[in-house]
Amino acid sequence: DVQVPSDRWQLAARTVNPRDYILSMGVANDSKSAVFEARGDIYLVMADDSRPPRNLTNTPGTRERMPQLSPDGTRVAFYSDKTGEYQIYALDIAGNKPWDALTTDLDRAAYHLEWSPDGTKILFGNKDFSLFWLDVATKKLTKFATSNQMKNDEFFWEVSDYSWSPDSKWVTYSFVEFNRNNRVFLYSVEQNTSVPLTDGFYDSMNPSFDAN
Protein backbone atom coordinates (compact mmCIF):
# COMPACT_ATOMS: atom_id res chain seq x y z
CA ASP A 1 0.00 0.00 0.00
CA VAL A 2 1.21 3.49 -0.85
CA GLN A 3 0.26 6.41 1.41
CA VAL A 4 0.45 9.87 -0.21
CA PRO A 5 -0.31 12.69 2.24
CA SER A 6 -2.16 15.59 0.64
CA ASP A 7 -3.83 18.87 1.57
CA ARG A 8 -6.68 17.85 -0.80
CA TRP A 9 -6.75 21.41 -2.08
CA GLN A 10 -8.63 20.41 -5.24
CA LEU A 11 -11.62 19.43 -3.09
CA ALA A 12 -11.63 22.63 -1.05
CA ALA A 13 -14.30 25.28 -1.61
CA ARG A 14 -13.06 28.11 -3.80
CA THR A 15 -14.33 31.10 -5.74
CA VAL A 16 -14.30 30.80 -9.54
CA ASN A 17 -14.96 33.67 -11.93
CA PRO A 18 -17.56 32.40 -14.44
CA ARG A 19 -16.37 35.00 -16.95
CA ASP A 20 -13.61 32.60 -18.00
CA TYR A 21 -16.05 29.73 -18.67
CA ILE A 22 -18.75 31.27 -20.89
CA LEU A 23 -20.08 28.83 -23.50
CA SER A 24 -23.17 30.57 -24.95
CA MET A 25 -25.16 33.76 -24.63
CA GLY A 26 -28.33 35.60 -25.64
CA VAL A 27 -29.11 39.32 -25.88
CA ALA A 28 -32.49 40.96 -25.20
CA ASN A 29 -34.24 42.74 -28.07
CA ASP A 30 -33.90 46.09 -26.32
CA SER A 31 -30.14 45.48 -25.86
CA LYS A 32 -30.44 46.36 -22.17
CA SER A 33 -29.59 42.91 -20.83
CA ALA A 34 -27.95 39.63 -21.77
CA VAL A 35 -27.79 36.10 -20.40
CA PHE A 36 -24.72 33.90 -20.32
CA GLU A 37 -24.12 30.19 -19.79
CA ALA A 38 -21.09 29.53 -17.60
CA ARG A 39 -20.15 26.50 -15.50
CA GLY A 40 -23.66 25.07 -15.72
CA ASP A 41 -25.54 28.16 -14.55
CA ILE A 42 -27.34 31.04 -16.28
CA TYR A 43 -26.26 34.60 -15.46
CA LEU A 44 -28.10 37.84 -16.16
CA VAL A 45 -25.99 40.90 -16.99
CA MET A 46 -27.31 44.46 -17.43
CA ALA A 47 -25.69 46.45 -20.23
CA ASP A 48 -25.60 49.68 -18.21
CA ASP A 49 -24.20 47.99 -15.08
CA SER A 50 -27.23 49.25 -13.13
CA ARG A 51 -27.23 45.94 -11.24
CA PRO A 52 -24.43 43.45 -10.62
CA PRO A 53 -24.50 40.20 -12.62
CA ARG A 54 -26.98 37.74 -11.13
CA ASN A 55 -27.02 33.94 -11.13
CA LEU A 56 -30.56 33.08 -12.24
CA THR A 57 -30.39 29.30 -11.75
CA ASN A 58 -27.74 28.66 -9.06
CA THR A 59 -27.90 24.87 -9.33
CA PRO A 60 -24.58 23.24 -8.37
CA GLY A 61 -25.88 19.74 -9.09
CA THR A 62 -27.25 20.30 -12.61
CA ARG A 63 -26.21 21.96 -15.85
CA GLU A 64 -28.15 24.67 -17.67
CA ARG A 65 -27.30 25.42 -21.31
CA MET A 66 -27.98 27.72 -24.28
CA PRO A 67 -30.07 30.50 -22.65
CA GLN A 68 -32.18 32.84 -24.77
CA LEU A 69 -34.14 35.85 -23.53
CA SER A 70 -37.76 36.25 -24.59
CA PRO A 71 -38.49 39.17 -26.93
CA ASP A 72 -39.91 41.26 -24.09
CA GLY A 73 -36.88 40.50 -21.92
CA THR A 74 -38.92 39.11 -19.00
CA ARG A 75 -38.17 35.38 -19.36
CA VAL A 76 -35.22 33.22 -20.28
CA ALA A 77 -35.53 29.83 -21.97
CA PHE A 78 -32.78 27.22 -21.60
CA TYR A 79 -31.98 23.52 -21.40
CA SER A 80 -31.45 21.81 -18.04
CA ASP A 81 -30.58 18.20 -17.18
CA LYS A 82 -32.24 18.33 -13.74
CA THR A 83 -34.44 15.32 -14.64
CA GLY A 84 -31.58 13.32 -16.14
CA GLU A 85 -32.31 14.36 -19.75
CA TYR A 86 -32.02 17.87 -21.13
CA GLN A 87 -35.46 19.50 -21.22
CA ILE A 88 -36.53 23.05 -22.08
CA TYR A 89 -37.43 25.37 -19.23
CA ALA A 90 -38.52 29.00 -18.98
CA LEU A 91 -37.67 31.16 -16.01
CA ASP A 92 -38.97 34.57 -14.99
CA ILE A 93 -35.85 36.74 -14.65
CA ALA A 94 -37.43 38.68 -11.77
CA GLY A 95 -37.10 35.49 -9.74
CA ASN A 96 -40.68 35.53 -8.47
CA LYS A 97 -41.84 32.27 -10.06
CA PRO A 98 -40.54 28.67 -10.17
CA TRP A 99 -39.12 27.15 -13.32
CA ASP A 100 -41.68 26.31 -15.99
CA ALA A 101 -40.94 22.93 -17.64
CA LEU A 102 -41.88 23.39 -21.30
CA THR A 103 -40.91 19.85 -22.35
CA THR A 104 -40.74 16.55 -20.49
CA ASP A 105 -39.95 13.92 -23.13
CA LEU A 106 -36.85 15.11 -25.04
CA ASP A 107 -34.44 12.17 -25.14
CA ARG A 108 -31.47 13.30 -27.27
CA ALA A 109 -29.16 16.26 -27.71
CA ALA A 110 -30.93 19.44 -28.83
CA TYR A 111 -29.47 22.72 -30.00
CA HIS A 112 -29.92 26.43 -29.86
CA LEU A 113 -33.31 27.83 -28.92
CA GLU A 114 -34.92 30.62 -30.93
CA TRP A 115 -37.91 32.57 -29.54
CA SER A 116 -40.49 33.69 -32.07
CA PRO A 117 -40.73 37.49 -32.27
CA ASP A 118 -44.18 37.45 -30.65
CA GLY A 119 -42.84 35.42 -27.72
CA THR A 120 -45.36 32.58 -28.10
CA LYS A 121 -43.19 29.88 -29.70
CA ILE A 122 -39.68 28.43 -29.47
CA LEU A 123 -37.75 26.91 -32.36
CA PHE A 124 -34.95 24.35 -31.97
CA GLY A 125 -33.20 21.40 -33.64
CA ASN A 126 -31.75 18.12 -32.41
CA LYS A 127 -28.97 15.64 -33.24
CA ASP A 128 -31.28 13.62 -35.50
CA PHE A 129 -31.34 16.53 -37.98
CA SER A 130 -34.92 17.30 -36.98
CA LEU A 131 -36.48 20.72 -36.44
CA PHE A 132 -39.24 21.51 -33.94
CA TRP A 133 -41.33 24.40 -32.77
CA LEU A 134 -42.84 24.54 -29.30
CA ASP A 135 -46.01 26.38 -28.29
CA VAL A 136 -45.01 28.01 -25.00
CA ALA A 137 -48.56 28.31 -23.64
CA THR A 138 -49.85 24.83 -24.47
CA LYS A 139 -46.42 23.10 -24.45
CA LYS A 140 -47.36 21.32 -27.69
CA LEU A 141 -44.31 20.16 -29.63
CA THR A 142 -44.39 19.98 -33.44
CA LYS A 143 -41.69 18.35 -35.58
CA PHE A 144 -41.86 19.95 -38.99
CA ALA A 145 -38.71 18.88 -40.84
CA THR A 146 -36.09 16.15 -40.71
CA SER A 147 -33.09 14.99 -42.73
CA ASN A 148 -30.57 12.16 -42.75
CA GLN A 149 -27.76 13.79 -44.72
CA MET A 150 -24.52 15.15 -43.23
CA LYS A 151 -22.56 18.02 -44.72
CA ASN A 152 -19.39 15.93 -44.65
CA ASP A 153 -18.11 12.67 -43.24
CA GLU A 154 -17.26 14.15 -39.86
CA PHE A 155 -19.43 13.44 -36.83
CA PHE A 156 -21.05 16.88 -36.82
CA TRP A 157 -24.65 16.35 -35.79
CA GLU A 158 -25.90 19.85 -35.08
CA VAL A 159 -28.58 21.44 -37.26
CA SER A 160 -29.15 25.02 -36.19
CA ASP A 161 -29.55 26.99 -39.42
CA TYR A 162 -33.03 28.42 -38.90
CA SER A 163 -34.78 31.73 -38.16
CA TRP A 164 -38.25 33.21 -37.64
CA SER A 165 -40.13 35.69 -39.78
CA PRO A 166 -41.01 38.99 -38.03
CA ASP A 167 -44.71 38.01 -37.86
CA SER A 168 -43.86 34.62 -36.25
CA LYS A 169 -45.85 32.75 -38.94
CA TRP A 170 -42.93 31.41 -40.99
CA VAL A 171 -39.58 29.70 -40.46
CA THR A 172 -36.76 29.61 -42.97
CA TYR A 173 -34.07 26.98 -42.67
CA SER A 174 -31.54 25.00 -44.69
CA PHE A 175 -30.91 21.26 -44.94
CA VAL A 176 -28.09 19.33 -46.61
CA GLU A 177 -29.03 17.54 -49.84
CA PHE A 178 -27.48 14.29 -51.12
CA ASN A 179 -25.00 16.29 -53.23
CA ARG A 180 -23.67 17.86 -49.97
CA ASN A 181 -25.11 21.28 -50.86
CA ASN A 182 -27.44 23.04 -48.46
CA ARG A 183 -30.91 23.92 -49.75
CA VAL A 184 -33.08 26.69 -48.27
CA PHE A 185 -36.70 25.97 -47.31
CA LEU A 186 -39.68 27.99 -46.12
CA TYR A 187 -42.08 26.56 -43.54
CA SER A 188 -45.57 27.82 -42.74
CA VAL A 189 -46.52 27.42 -39.08
CA GLU A 190 -50.23 27.86 -39.81
CA GLN A 191 -50.33 25.34 -42.69
CA ASN A 192 -47.61 23.01 -41.33
CA THR A 193 -46.02 22.71 -44.78
CA SER A 194 -42.55 23.36 -46.21
CA VAL A 195 -41.50 24.44 -49.70
CA PRO A 196 -37.96 24.72 -51.14
CA LEU A 197 -36.72 28.19 -52.07
CA THR A 198 -33.48 27.14 -53.79
CA ASP A 199 -32.86 24.29 -56.22
CA GLY A 200 -29.85 22.70 -54.52
CA PHE A 201 -27.49 23.22 -57.45
CA TYR A 202 -25.61 25.78 -55.38
CA ASP A 203 -24.71 25.62 -51.70
CA SER A 204 -27.23 27.94 -49.99
CA MET A 205 -27.44 28.49 -46.24
CA ASN A 206 -27.96 30.95 -43.36
CA PRO A 207 -31.36 32.28 -44.54
CA SER A 208 -32.90 35.21 -42.71
CA PHE A 209 -35.98 37.39 -43.18
CA ASP A 210 -35.82 41.14 -43.63
CA ALA A 211 -37.76 43.40 -41.23
CA ASN A 212 -40.81 43.48 -43.54
pLDDT tens for 47-67 read 998 889 999 999 989 999 999
pLDDT mean across residues, the chain? 92
**Residue of 174, 123, 171 whose CA lies nearest to 149:** 174
Residue 89: beta bridge partners?
A: 78, 101
pLDDT at 153: 66
Q: Compute the distance between CA of residue 65 and CA of residue 171 in angstroms, rounded to an integer.
A: 23
Report if pTM > 0.85.
yes
Whether pLDDT at 152 is above 80:
no
Sign of the torsion formed by the C-alpha atoms of 28, 123, 107 and 88: positive
Q: Compute the distance between CA of residue 92 and CA of residue 87 in angstroms, rounded to an integer.
A: 17
